[in-house]
Chains A and B, each alone.
Chain A
């Protein structure tokens, strides 16, 4: 099977032409770095994405704390994790990197804060 992928790992957005079958990749062309092959491998089998979103926060200088998964997760879990973030309510202060949900959905990956929210005076 022949398919063109657009790599999402960096702004280069490499168009990678790949020939593959059930035994794996046979031919790969167009990747500007070695991460391309790994990306394609995942993309064929189990596409991975970083989840980013936000959760409510009370008593801070922002109403929302932005969050991300510390590692890429399977693409199929994106919507389920989004639903989880809607059920969380934090209290200020929150620091960047603070773990908001440890081991989210049992994936051995943490959901962490990406915004500092100070207590509102």
Chain B
């Protein structure tokens, strides 16, 4: 069994930032394990710009943003394995890794989970109909078009208005396809507002809110879909069904943190985020195993992934120097109007960045942090949107003397 101080599973945005940050803190013995044949993760295929505005005050494309970190990994000589899969981890932090050279076992003092997320598929949302070629998730379409130079179709209908779907709508148009419409089940868009503007409205692509796809038709290839309006409960209204001819259906209907390994290690998950339950350092319910990036919570901005990974590196440094002792954590209570809040539990030792998402869009809302006695912090938002993660820092001073915390969204 090979011993390592820190093993990072995943060489995407989160894993790379965690690795660079750990090395900056003086941790020498690091190993990144990446299953693809290059570092960079999903950033490699996100060739549009808009990355890095928070972290670097500059707008980069995905490959450029990834390159900044890959460059650091190379310069700092941080070891990494490519084409390598972690197939098992235990709560004793033993990892089983397979690659072309065979199967090896590693014993890590600390593990950082940075496996990212995957897309919900047609199966996950259960669209009835036949099973022809021409049904893609937005991320797969992005990979085929931007990395492999395969076009996915000529006449495209998009279901779901997640950011990747919107970005791909514009990309498909510029690559010569027709994007007939974007259908969204919810009464509001799922992506960032600026992407509706620069990807749909710029190209006059119609957006139908409260609509879904209820049938797919086609023998070899998709020939048409049936769209329908949905009622307040999200159920299709039969009288509104309408056939739309197309050769491609692209799905952008949500992302799921990829936590199979997390479960193997016996780590508790939060059903609200789909990721691990963590404390303020991103430490999971197994001491010494940390999580950051989309495997912990699905992010809308990569800069926040990098920042989260930097926080986790602080936690790893503290853990390795035996500063983080297992203690009784206090649970953060989730109040009204919020989907989730991270961390879910904490010890109130340090300045802490809370990340959270609201349940539905709203105007003039007040985010309130209170302990059992009083309000310790509040912030008013002109607008809130589930698509936009809120990150807010509470200092040690604000948190001092607190032995319980509730987060609420008030009108």
Chains A and B are bound partners: yes
The reply on B383 being an interface residue by CB < 8 A is yes
Structural contact, A66 and B146, CB atoms closer than 8 A: yes
What are the residues of chain B within 8 A of A5 when measuring CB–CB?
A: 197
CB-CB nearest 4 A-B residue pairs: A66-B47, A13-B193, A82-B174, A13-B194
In the bound complex, how far is the Cα of B201 from the Cα of A49, in angstroms? 13
The reply on B260 being an interface residue by CB < 8 A is no
In the bound complex, how far is the Cα of B193 from the Cα of A3, in angstroms? 16
**Shortest CB distance B384–A (Å):** 12
Known contacts A52-B49, A96-B67; A7 and B59 CB within 8 A of each other: no
Can you show 23 pairs from A to B with CB atoms below 8 A apart? A6-B196, A10-B194, A11-B53, A11-B192, A13-B197, A13-B388, A15-B193, A30-B382, A52-B61, A53-B171, A54-B149, A56-B149, A64-B146, A64-B147, A64-B149, A66-B47, A68-B49, A78-B202, A79-B174, A96-B67, A114-B60, A115-B63, A116-B67
Structural contact, A52 and B48, CB atoms closer than 8 A: yes
Total A-B contacts with CB atoms under 8 angstroms apart? 84
What are the residues of chain A within 8 A of B48 when measuring CB–CB?
A: 52
**Shortest CB distance A50–B (Å):** 5
Interface centre among B64, B67, B171 (most CB of A within 10 A): B64
A1-52 with Cβ < 8 A to chain B: 5-11, 13, 15, 30, 47, 49-50, 52
Structural contact, A114 and B47, CB atoms closer than 8 A: yes
Structural contact, B64 and A96, CB atoms closer than 8 A: yes
Q: What does the 1/0 interface line of B333-361 toward A look like (CB < 8 Å)?
A: 00000000000000000000000000000
A68-113 with Cβ < 8 A to chain B: 68, 75, 78-79, 82, 96
Structural contact, A49 and B59, CB atoms closer than 8 A: no
With beta carbons under 8 angstroms apart, the residue of A9, A11, A68, A75 that contacts B61 is A68
Q: What does the 1/0 interface line of B169-204 toward A look like (CB < 8 Å)?
A: 001011110000000000000001110111000100
Q: Quick one: closest B residue to A56, CB to CB?
A: B149
The reply on B379 being an interface residue by CB < 8 A is no
What are the residues of chain A within 8 A of B382 when measuring CB–CB?
A: 30
Q: Quick one: closest B residue to A53, CB to CB?
A: B174
Structural contact, B63 and A66, CB atoms closer than 8 A: yes
Structural contact, A8 and B194, CB atoms closer than 8 A: yes
What are the residues of chain A within 8 A of B218 when measuring CB–CB?
A: none
With beta carbons under 8 angstroms apart, the residue of B60, B148, B198, B300 that contacts A49 is B198
The reply on B301 being an interface residue by CB < 8 A is yes
The reply on B134 being an interface residue by CB < 8 A is no
With beta carbons under 8 angstroms apart, the residue of B47, B67, B193, B300 that contacts A53 is B47
B192-225 with Cβ < 8 A to chain A: 192-194, 196-198, 202
Count how many chain A residues have C-beta atoms less than 8 Å from C-beta atoms of the other chain: 31
Q: Quick one: closest B residue to A66, CB to CB?
A: B47
Known contacts A52-B48, A63-B148; A15 and B63 CB within 8 A of each other: no
What are the residues of chain B within 8 A of A79 when measuring CB–CB?
A: 173-174
What are the residues of chain B within 8 A of A49 when measuring CB–CB?
A: 198, 202
Q: Quick one: closest A residue to B40, CB to CB?
A: A115
Interface centre among A9, A13, A63, A64 (most CB of B within 10 A): A13
Q: Quick one: closest A residue to B146, CB to CB?
A: A54
Q: What does the 1/0 interface line of B377-388 toward A look like (CB < 8 Å)?
A: 000001100001
In the bound complex, how far is the Cα of B49 from the Cα of A62, in angstroms? 19
Interface centre among A15, A63, A78, A115 (most CB of B within 10 A): A115
What are the residues of chain A within 8 A of B44 when measuring CB–CB?
A: 115
**Shortest CB distance B262–A (Å):** 28
**Shortest CB distance B56–A (Å):** 12
Interface centre among B44, B192, B196, B300 (most CB of A within 10 A): B192
Structural contact, B61 and A66, CB atoms closer than 8 A: yes
Q: Quick one: closest A residue to B67, CB to CB?
A: A96
In the bound complex, how far is the Cα of B382 from the Cα of A52, in angstroms? 32
Structural contact, A52 and B47, CB atoms closer than 8 A: yes
In the bound complex, how far is the Cα of B44 from the Cα of A54, in angstroms? 12
List 11 additional contacts besides A8-B198, A30-B382; criterion CB under 8 Å.
A5-B197, A9-B194, A11-B53, A13-B194, A47-B202, A54-B47, A62-B147, A64-B149, A66-B146, A114-B60, A115-B47
Structural contact, A50 and B194, CB atoms closer than 8 A: no
The reply on B50 being an interface residue by CB < 8 A is yes
**Shortest CB distance A21–B (Å):** 23
What are the residues of chain A within 8 A of B67 when measuring CB–CB?
A: 96, 115-116
Q: What does the 1/0 interface line of B39-75 toward A look like (CB < 8 Å)?
A: 0000010011110011000011101100100000000
In the bound complex, how far is the Cα of B196 from the Cα of A13, in angstroms? 10
